[in-house]
Each structure stands twice: as C-alpha cells, then as structure tokens.
C-alpha cells in the first residue's frame, strides 16, 4: 500500500482526542508530548481537530499555525482505509465511535502502529491487530 512508504520512521498514530488533550494540557498530555515527533494522524482526524478548534472560536490563521506546528505527518484517507473504516462500523457500533475514531483505528490496523487516544471507551474494544494506548 502506498501509505507505508510515506510513514517510514513513524512509530504511532494519534487520535483527535490525544491532540486535543495536548493542546488543552489535559490529563495525559505529557504522553503525547513524548511521542508527537514520531507520530502521524489520519486526514479524517485532522478534519475533526479543525472542527473542534473552529467550534471553540480559534481563528483560521491560528488553526493553520497549530496544524503546521503540531502535526508532523497527515495520512490521506485512501480507498483501502475507507473500506476498512466502513467495515469497522458494525464491530464498533455499541461504543459510539465517530468516523474519525474508526478511520484512526483502521489506519493503525493497516500499518501495525500503536494508536494513542484519550477516549477510554476504546479500551473496551475487542479488535484483533490493534494496539490502543490510553493516555489517561
């Protein structure tokens, strides 16, 4: 898959909740500070992050600066990950996961990378080939 070559040297993925925790200095943000340099996020999670910042009243210019300063690698939402994300809907329907959550998990499964999240419900997921790490 094409996305693998783009992610050489990346050691983990970040869920939107992990980035929000870092930005707001919420519980567990130190974990993300320690891994962010070698992390990546899905473009779907980037969209979620921008939506949260926009709803919080952050200016467009500040959002652009946050993204360029904070996010080291953005992985496009390609066809293969889109299909895997859709297939996760049934397995995760009882947990209230968003499209971004499922996109992040699908990417993590595909790349075999650990995923950092602040969403505690992820610990209840019974998904094969996932390495989910709660930051709090």
For the domain that residue 118 is a member of, what is the CATH number?
3.40.50.1010
Is 60 within the bounds of a domain?
A: yes
Is 93 within the bounds of a domain?
A: yes
Measured from the Cβ of residue 123, the count of other Cβ atoms closer than 10 Å reads 10
Q: What is the CA 124 to chain-centroid distance, rounded?
A: 17
Residue 77 is predicted with a pLDDT of 95
Which parts of the chain have pLDDT scores under 70? 1-9
Is 11 within the bounds of a domain?
A: no
Q: How far is the C-alpha of 106 from the C-alpha of 64, rounded, in Å? A: 26
pTM: 0.91
Give residue 31's domain range: 20-134
Is 4 within the bounds of a domain?
A: no
Q: Per the structure, how many domains does the chain have?
A: 1
Is 15 within the bounds of a domain?
A: no
The Cα angle at residue 125 between residues 83 and 132, in degrees rounded to 5: 85
Residue 6 is predicted with a pLDDT of 56
């Amino acid at each position: 898959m094409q996305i693998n070559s783009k992610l050489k040297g990346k050691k983990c993925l970040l869920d939107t909740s992990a980035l929000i925790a870092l930005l707001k200095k919420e519980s567990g943000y130190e974990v993300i500070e320690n891994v962010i340099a070698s992390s990546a996020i899905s473009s779907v999670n980037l969209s979620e992050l921008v939506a949260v910042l926009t709803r919080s009243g952050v200016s467009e210019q500040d959002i652009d600066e946050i993204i360029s300063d904070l996010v080291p690698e953005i992985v496009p939402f390609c066809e293969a990950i889109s299909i895997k994300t859709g297939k996760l809907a049934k397995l995760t329907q009882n947990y209230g996961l968003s499209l971004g959550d499922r996109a992040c998990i699908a990417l993590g499964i595909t790349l075999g990378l650990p995923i950092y999240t602040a969403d505690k419900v992820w610990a209840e997921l019974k998904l094969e080939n996932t390495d989910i790490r709660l930051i709090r």
